[in-house]
């Protein structure tokens, strides 16, 4: 009598995949498809944060700067109706952006136009590069 155990050879890999899915971060800001989508760029003086939030009212967005992190919280209201398919997320959302440089919190500016939230975070003077002069001997 021959017992075929080949179907069990893949069990360790399947168990690893199962536990990987369980231990994934559950915060929305760390998921692959986080909402709202964000672009972050910088130059010598500023950090620029652009978020796409169509259909979100300014009153439903809260921006907080604390401990080197920019936190954007909001609520995208649910549309009424009977859906056959709904791919645009609705409800509460939060994005946490670690800035990793000292910033001038008093000069942060944000504006929203056509569903795009633009935030400009000025870097603190100590974070900006300094020119060092060379003395001749």
Name the pTM for this structure: 0.68
Beta bridge partner(s), residue 64: 71
Residues 6+ positions from 108 with CB-CB distance below 8 Å: 63, 65, 119, 120, 121, 122
The residue extents of the domains of the chain are 31-127
93 near 76, Cβ under 8 Å? yes
53 near 74, Cβ under 8 Å? yes
Q: Tell me yes or no: is domain 31-127 CATH 3.40.50.300.
A: no
The overall average pLDDT reported for the chain is 83
Mean pLDDT of 54-59: 90
Q: Does 115 score more than 80 pLDDT?
A: yes
């Amino acid at each position: 009598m021959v017992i075929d155990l080949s179907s069990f050879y893949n069990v360790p890999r399947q168990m690893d995949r199962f536990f990987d899915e369980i231990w994934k971060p559950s915060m929305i800001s760390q998921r692959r498809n986080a909402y709202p989508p964000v672009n972050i760029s910088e130059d010598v003086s500023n950090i620029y944060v652009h978020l796409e939030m169509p259909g979100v009212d300014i009153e439903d967005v809260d921006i907080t700067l604390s401990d080197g992190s920019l936190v954007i919280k909001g609520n995208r209201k649910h549309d009424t109706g009977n859906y056959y398919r709904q791919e645009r997320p609705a409800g509460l959302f939060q994005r946490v952006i670690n800035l990793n440089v000292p910033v001038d919190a008093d000069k942060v500016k944000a504006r929203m136009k056509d569903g795009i939230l633009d935030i400009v975070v000025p870097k603190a003077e100590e974070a900006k590069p300094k020119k060092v002069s060379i003395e001749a001997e």
